[in-house]
A and B are shown apart, each in its own frame.
Chain A
């Protein structure tokens, strides 16, 4: 409770709140623009945040962007049937028909209400379960931590869009890139391709992520001649009536729970949460025939679920140090740069500054979910015009952010060169159908896997069976299941067809 008071005290600071506010606005704008994903927006901002004082302000801007972009995805999904983020894919089903029938503002406001309720629910669940899970995870030894990293890597099977095989190759490449340069375990230079003064892994991987996510996307988007569907019409704010609010309540209840649970499962992202909740909301609805034709329950279910996952996805990231998806992987890296160590020991910290930051993170997540609501409602007409921004203005500006951000990580052009190299790498890998998400997981989890396996081998004298525990067995079994699951699902689909 003391830390909570401390966090409130730090949070109720004009600078911290202003940064959160700025982050939310930037996030909504980025989310609304198709092509600018939550992952890319967070990756782009990380280099700018670690110099901000107090560090909580830096953390708040990132949380603001994360929450804001999850909200923003609904705007383009509703207005131009193009989900701004993959998580908003299910919102198109009913959001766009509503907009076509002249109820765009109603759809946007319902999505704002549902997203806020989902986000707050997910955060409260995170508050409730984080400390007990972390307490349990404290019992993990190095071998269990290694198995946990393997489990984290096994979710590559679920986050790989297109080909699981290519996902695993990208994951392994990520681990390899993380192992390059000075090894902190062995104090030796490895596979550095003759490059001298390669920055240490923590500083190197942000330019790497900026390259893979932002530069790759910029080049890929510029290459396409996209049909521009302008959505910049002026909107008049229309709110749901009491009857309409009552109508969406069951969908909100189901989707909050489903979104949080799905978010907590590593690898299951907002798009899955949106689709599953949409389907369940249709099943419990009194008007299932309206789904797909402009149902307000459909919009509420999809949006509530894809925002509830933000709290859920933080559970494995904060308590076990295992990111559940690309965006939490980048947030995890950002937290490390800001001085936090997500994982079981996060809640054991005694340093008052770190305690303040941890408590601030929890309170901040709640505050960001609250603050985003009035912003969405008041500025709906402004945000609806954002999607009309021309691509030829947007992407060159994104490149400037990429270069300034990568430079600032190391204060040398080395960061920019790393970003450029990985931008080219990501662009070509995308052409060959390789997803970028697994690369991030590999970069984050590779060093955890190597260092813990090394420690486990040393402790056991090279005989891992001697320290094999039931917990390790469960984690390894879960990893095998996680890898096999997409194949089982594929086989089931084939059989059903």
Chain B
């Protein structure tokens, strides 16, 4: 990693340490008895991080760069950003529309974003993959392992269907 990057992250960490220190100012400074106070440990850590970051910054300034650092962004960075945004959207939508509908859309769209050269056959494959994976996770984790999943209208219908089916069985 290039040393100029070390300077940037070092300065950011010093800023973060200062923020933590400021946050500890509102905490009680003394403890009952001779023990630590609630502020002591976070404050010591803030100082420690700041001191190490300062060394990192100093290294960044003084050490000579011996090799070209690897590129900061990968070749598929734009697609990854898009994938990340879809993921954030998925997280925001899940409490509103439930696990099944949100996961189905997320898997379909995200696989589509990352897949190189899409044909009609790929589209069908993507849909099958998204549906099968969503259902597999629902059945294994939601139904078998009783892991709580957020329920939406589709989840309720499916759960109702499964209970009728298992009741009939």
Contact = CB atoms under 8 A, between A and B. Distances in A.
Given A52-B145, A399-B87, A403-B90, A168 B129 contact: no
Interface stretch (A106-114, A123-131, A186-194): A186-194
B137 A223 contact: no
Interface string B14-52: 000000100110011001011111110110011011001
A386 to B, nearest CB: 16
A51 B77 contact: no
A432 B59 CA distance: 14
Interface of B: 1, 5-6, 8-9, 13, 20, 23-24, 27-28, 31, 33-39, 41-42, 45-46, 48-49, 52-53, 55-56, 59, 72-77, 79-80, 83-84, 87-88, 90-91, 94-95, 99, 103, 106-107, 110-111, 114-116, 129, 133-134, 137, 141, 145-150
Contact of B52 (A165, A185, A224, A404): A165
A403 B76 contact: no
A390 B115 CA distance: 9
Nearest to B75: A225
Interface residues of A, number: 61
Residue from A176, A225, A450 whose CB has the most chain B CB atoms within 10 Å:
A176
Given A393-B129, A457-B36, A179 B45 contact: yes
Contact of A404 (B36, B48, B79, B99): B99
Nearest to A22: B140
Contact of A190 (B1, B9, B38, B116): B38
B23 A396 contact: no
Contacts of A413: 91, 94-95
A320 interface: no
Interface in A402-455: 403-404, 407-408, 411, 413, 416-417, 420, 429, 431-434, 446, 450, 453-455
Given A172-B48, A176-B45, A223-B80, A396 B38 contact: no
Given A224-B75, A458-B33, A395 B114 contact: yes
Given A48-B147, A190-B27, A223-B76, A400 B36 contact: no
B148 A408 contact: yes
A324 B49 CA distance: 23
Contacts of A361: none
Contacts of B27: 188, 190
